[in-house]
């Protein structure tokens, strides 16, 4: 069953809003074993919408429309589909009641144009709108299934989860179930990963293996189809171990896990606390880490030592030695990590110093960065990296590199 999602709204084409409805409907469909092959977005225009419907009918079996079910003049999805299919629109009493209730709750007078929202394609299965007025519907004709959903995400999402997906699953012919697992990688490029897994990817069938790059990370989505989820789990486990044999060192987690949640859990599990001294990253490591709920159990805080004076006065680095080594040095990274650990009395102290760019500073190229990790007074690591990219990319890569490095180190601790 080939599905297509058709979003209607001129604001999408003006770039005023993003078509996140297509994302949501796609992921919910995929996990129900329904495959979406096309997304289309078109404006509030009858003629263009009708052409889009014709194209979709030629290539898809399930057409999922979202948007244009409202009361205003430019809401014309229902009318256009009805005209195209030669199916009359009829008033749905339940939907009308729902709309009237809605106005009562809001203590507002129901204007006539709102009745329009209670019209449905004659013979369609109504999808109740628990969070708004316009009902959704499923209509079948000539082997095609037409699904109409409202545009507002807070109305559309629960309608999909609670009514549409169960309805579609009940209609499925084969009993097969779909199970999906996402492997998260860090420290390996998409090309390199795929190069190492080429034969697996070429021969994939069940489970399917799909790489996806983004923001310095790569993920691999494994999707298995079988008669039940335990059969699927076995298929996924086998595939995962085959992959892990080759590139397991770069796998840091699964599904919704991030480098940061993984790091937080590992530090928490070992009862370790963290203090951070940030120069060119200026708090980016700490603020990204603190975006994880519960970070406060691990991160005590730190110092943003953007200016040299903060390094010497607050973090007490020796001025002369700092002069001779320079702020862009392993010595500086080492001292910052030690100092912030001491000051905040934590298990671990880490530090970032370097040039984010744009342009060189003190004859040091942008992307030249030094990091320190102090595990104790005597136990300090320093790392020098040469990163490329924009100022933003360099800062982001630095903190991600550290998150991954810490994660691995903490895992290895006795």
- Please, which of residues 156-215 interact with a copy of itself by CB under 8 A? 158, 189-192, 194-195, 198, 201-202, 210-215
For position 393 contacting a copy of itself by CB under 8 A, the verdict is yes
In order of 56, 366, 372, the CA distances from 385 in angstroms are 50, 11, 12
In order of 181, 214, 246, 272, 357, the CA distances from 192 in angstroms are 21, 14, 12, 34, 28
For position 27 contacting a copy of itself by CB under 8 A, the verdict is yes
Least distance to a copy of itself, CB of residue 345, Å: 7
Binding mask 219-238 for a copy of itself (x = CB under 8 A): x-x-----------------
CA–CA separation, 159 vs 367, rounded Å?
48
139 vs 239, beta carbon nearer a copy of itself:
239
Least distance to a copy of itself, CB of residue 312, Å: 12
Least distance to a copy of itself, CB of residue 43, Å: 6
91, 94, 388, 413: which one binds a copy of itself (CB under 8 A): 388
Residues 85-124 that bind a copy of itself (CB under 8 A): 102, 105-108, 111, 113-114
123 vs 358, beta carbon nearer a copy of itself:
358
CA–CA separation, 331 vs 316, rounded Å?
14
**Residues 43 and 10 sit within 8 Å (Cβ to Cβ):** yes
Least distance to a copy of itself, CB of residue 106, Å: 6
CA–CA separation, 30 vs 223, rounded Å?
10
Q: Peptide bond before 207: cis, by omega within 30 degrees of 0?
A: yes
CA–CA separation, 259 vs 345, rounded Å?
25
**Residues 66 and 25 sit within 8 Å (Cβ to Cβ):** yes
71 vs 330, beta carbon nearer a copy of itself:
71
Where are the strands (E) in 194-309, listed by range? 208-214, 217-226, 251-254, 274-278, 299-304
The single residue listed with the structure tokens 């069938």 is 205
124, 179, 281, 339: which one binds a copy of itself (CB under 8 A): 281
Least distance to a copy of itself, CB of residue 123, Å: 27
Binding mask 54-83 for a copy of itself (x = CB under 8 A): -x---x----------xxxxx---------
How many chain residues bind a copy of itself (CB under 8 A)? 115
């Amino acid at each position: 069953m080939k599905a297509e999602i058709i979003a209607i709204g001129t604001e999408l084409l003006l770039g005023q809003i993003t078509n996140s409805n297509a994302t949501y409907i796609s992921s919910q469909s995929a996990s129900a074993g329904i495959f979406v092959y096309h997304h289309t977005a078109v404006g509030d225009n009858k003629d263009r919408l009708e052409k889009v419907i014709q194209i979709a009918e030629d290539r898809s079996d399930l057409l999922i429309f979202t948007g244009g079910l409202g009361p205003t003049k430019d809401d014309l999805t229902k009318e256009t589909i009805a005209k195209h299919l030669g199916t009359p629109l009829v008033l749905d009493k339940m939907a009308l009641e729902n709309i009237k209730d809605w106005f009562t709750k809001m203590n507002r007078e129901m204007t006539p144009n709102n009745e329009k929202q209670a019209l449905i394609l004659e013979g369609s299965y109504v999808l109740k709108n628990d969070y708004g007025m316009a009902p959704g519907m499923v209509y079948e004709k000539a082997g095609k299934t037409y699904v109409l959903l409202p545009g507002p995400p807070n109305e559309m999402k629960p309608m999909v989860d609670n009514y549409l997906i169960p309805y579609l699953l009940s209609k499925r012919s084969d009993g097969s179930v779909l199970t999906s697992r996402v492997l998260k990688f860090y420290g390996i490029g998409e090309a390199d990963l795929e190069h190492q897994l080429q034969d697996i990817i070429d021969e994939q069938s069940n489970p399917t293996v799909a790489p996806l790059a983004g923001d310095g990370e790569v993920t691999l989505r494994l999707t298995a189809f079988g008669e039940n989820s335990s059969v699927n789990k076995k298929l996924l486990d086998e595939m995962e171990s085959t992959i892990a044999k080759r590139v397991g060192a770069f796998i840091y987690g699964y599904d919704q896990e991030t480098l940061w949640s993984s790091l937080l859990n590992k530090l928490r599990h070992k009862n370790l606390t963290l203090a951070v001294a940030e120069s060119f990253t200026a708090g980016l490591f700490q603020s990204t880490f603190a975006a994880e709920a519960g970070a406060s159990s691990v991160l005590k805080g730190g110092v943003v030592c953007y200016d040299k004076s903060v390094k010497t006065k607050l973090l007490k680095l020796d001025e002369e030695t700092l002069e001779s080594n320079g702020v862009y040095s392993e010595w500086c990274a080492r001292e910052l990590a030690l100092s912030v650990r001491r000051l905040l009395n934590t298990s671990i102290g880490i530090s970032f110093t370097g040039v984010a760019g744009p342009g060189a500073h003190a004859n040091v190229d942008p992307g030249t960065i030094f990091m320190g990790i102090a595990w104790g007074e005597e136990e300090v690591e320093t790392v020098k990296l040469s990163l490329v990219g924009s100022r933003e990319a360099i800062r982001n890569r630095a903190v991600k590199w550290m998150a991954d490095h810490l994660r691995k180190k903490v895992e290895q601790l006795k």
